[in-house]
Chains A and B, each alone.
Chain A
Amino acid sequence: MTVGDAVLAARVAGVYALADGVDRAAEGFGPSVREAVEALAAAGEAAAGLGTGVALLEVAGLLAERLDTATRDVRDAAERMRGAMQGLVDGDGEVAAGVRAAG
């Protein structure tokens, strides 16, 4: 392995590590927001018959939708990074050039 290959491998490993960091970020927000959504929905159900109950359910539903979107987008961002590095391994010249030029 040449020095250049070693640097390239280190940078690829670095991108994989950053992608793992993205996964950890997803784990850092998803469960807490999910818990809030469930609590808001439960409060909405308890308050059924009041306008508050309807509004709580609406807020919970919208948050749940947004949570799904944000979770997917965060995961996609991580996969985009891993996918590009895999592409490099499979011979994607543009990505390889981008990694060589970094630093």
Chain B
Amino acid sequence: MSAPPGEVAGAAWPVAAAEAVVTAVDHAERTAEDAGRAVVQPALDLDDLALHLGTAWTGRAADAAARALRRAAEEVDAFSGPLLVVADVLRVEGSALARALVVPGGVADGDARELAEADEALAGRLREVASVLGGEVLGAGAPGAGAGGADTGGLAGVDASVLPTGVRDRATAWHALGPAERARATSSLTGSGALDGLPAAERDVVNRRRLDALIDAGVRPDELGALRAHLAADPRRMLLEVTDDGRAVVADGDPDRAARVVTLVPGTGSSLAAIGDAATRAAEVCTAASAEDAARRDADVAPCVGVAWQGYDAPDTVLEAARSPGLASAHAAELRGLAAGLDAVDRLDGTDTPHTAVGYSFGSVVLGDAAAAPQGLAVDRMLHVGSPGMGTATSADQRIDEGGTPRPVRDEELVGLRSRWDPVPWWSLTGALGGLPGETEVGGVALAAEPGLPPAERAHTHSRYFDAGTDSVRAIGGAVADP
């Protein structure tokens, strides 16, 4: 039970003790999230084993063994929802508690009410989880779990139709839900973009189950198999989106816990089967930005998460792209939805993590199209690298979504980087794909930096902007670190 405001005395929470609480809560948040994600694959494996048992053994005893396996799979799977809700509330309500607790000189009388309120808010959310955990069946209704799960804690039935369709409102509404309500709603959240506004860890869990089901159904085995292998190579990777037409978005960590997010939109020739290339480039941008941070501030490097956005069907060549500009706009709304969702979830804990979108090659057109919509794109900076054009003629048609309010992009928020040896940007002269950011008549800022290739390799300049150690990736990192 929470202490009354008068009992939360300043002397009880000197700075060191308060910081110890914050550190412990932060660690608990991270481990709860890790565990909430880690149980998914063993649960899927147990389900698969139950399925395969029939190939070696049949009869009453075999049926009973298969039922025991499925029940065990449900029990394991059912840890996920409560653990992820715990992580979510520790991040959001825990941040408010941290702000109320860690006060220079310790909590004084004037701060006691704020502390009591923050404490009660977090404790209340945790008790909600406890009421579900204390039910007859753990984590009722989790995707994959039976329909007969517990409805404990007085939680009313919720389905996705009652969730707001706007991404920002959905983020707020989702955060207010408890584990049982989330489990029920999640099973109805289908279709591309339906998970925008949910915490990244929960998106990851839902999408991994989707990926497993798609692969089991024989959908796009090469591409989705490559995606699964990419995810398996690093357990920190999060699957933020996956569709049955071969598109996906993968983060190399948890964007909700990052101090900086970089989303890379790849260009011509990119595909799900090669999503590792986009992920590597996003990671190189993060590495360069972190190095720039360290050099400028001589301080701890801000954890940066790279996001590979393979959310569109990329053309194979720039020529094809010029003939089919609709390829860029076809899924631009989904890039906007992803960015708005990340921003909305991020802001729930009172922070605003800088988010830079990097459009590379034809990805620059996709990025520009996303920012050309009236609602704008919820990022802090847009970088166009090796761009053939940004989809619009000038920066006047580019907008930033500032916490749900669109505004024109500022010059310093729109950056173009190109090499004089790269032929792709010359496409902008045709006007087919829009203007080049940084050109005087277009607007924005131009960065001049070369990958620095020897003359014999300059023909490959377009594909080398993000190579580790190049001047170009250092310049990109500097621009990302700037905000």
Contact = CB atoms under 8 A, between A and B. Distances in A.
B123 interface: yes
B41 A28 contact: yes
Nearest to B1: A51
Interface string A16-43: 0010011011101100110110111011
Contacts of B61: 84, 94-95, 98
A81 B134 CA distance: 30
B349 interface: no
Contacts of B31: 32, 35-36, 38-40
Contacts of B119: 50-52
Contacts of A51: 1-3, 119-120, 122-123
Nearest to B235: A32
Interface residues of A, number: 54
A58 B68 CA distance: 28
A45 B53 CA distance: 44
A25 B76 contact: yes
Contacts of B60: 94, 98
B65 A84 contact: yes
Contacts of A35: 31, 34-35
Interface of B is mostly: helix
A98 B20 CA distance: 59
Interface in B84-125: 86, 90, 97, 119-120, 122-124
B69 interface: yes
Contacts of A33: 35, 38-39, 79, 83
A12 B57 CA distance: 8
A62 B134 contact: yes
Interface in A54-81: 54-56, 58-59, 62-63, 66-67, 69-70, 73-74, 76-77, 80-81
B2 A43 contact: no
A29 B425 CA distance: 50
Nearest to B27: A39
A32 B34 contact: yes
A52 B470 CA distance: 49
A29 B79 contact: yes
Given A28-B45, A50-B123, A102-B57, A43 B12 contact: no
Contact of B126 (A46, A55, A70): A55
A21 B49 contact: yes
Nearest to A41: B28
Contact of A80 (B12, B42, B55, B68): B68
A102 B130 CA distance: 44
Interface in B425-478: none
A15 B31 CA distance: 34
A25 B45 contact: yes
Interface string B323-335: 0000000000000
Contact of A84 (B1, B57, B133): B57
Given A14-B56, A98-B61, A36 B83 contact: yes
B133 A29 contact: no
B12 A49 contact: yes
A48 B239 CA distance: 36
Contact of B42 (A26, A52, A73, A99): A26
A4 interface: no
B2 to A, nearest CB: 3
Contacts of B68: 73, 76-77, 80
A7 to B, nearest CB: 10
A91 interface: no
A18 B21 CA distance: 44
A52 B55 CA distance: 50
B236 interface: no
A36 to B, nearest CB: 4
Contacts of A103: 55-56
Contact of A42 (B3, B28, B57, B86): B28
B229 interface: no
A33 B42 CA distance: 12
A50 B3 contact: yes
Contact of A40 (B32, B41, B46, B75): B32
Nearest to B94: A52
Interface in B33-65: 34-36, 38-39, 41-43, 45-46, 49, 52-62, 64-65
Contacts of A46: 20-21, 23-25
A39 B23 CA distance: 11
A39 B28 contact: yes
Contacts of B296: none
Interface in B344-358: none
Nearest to A17: B56
Contacts of A54: 1-2, 123
A15 to B, nearest CB: 5
Complex A-B, nearest 8 residue pairs according to Cβ-Cβ distance, in ascending order:
A51-B2, A98-B59, A51-B123, A55-B126, A28-B42, A36-B35, A62-B133, A14-B56
Given A11-B56, A39-B24, A70-B75, 15 more contacts: A12-B56, A18-B52, A25-B49, A32-B38, A36-B36, A36-B83, A39-B27, A42-B27, A51-B2, A51-B123, A55-B122, A55-B130, A94-B61, A101-B58, A102-B57
8 contacts: A29-B43, A29-B76, A32-B34, A51-B120, A63-B79, A66-B133, A81-B57, A103-B56
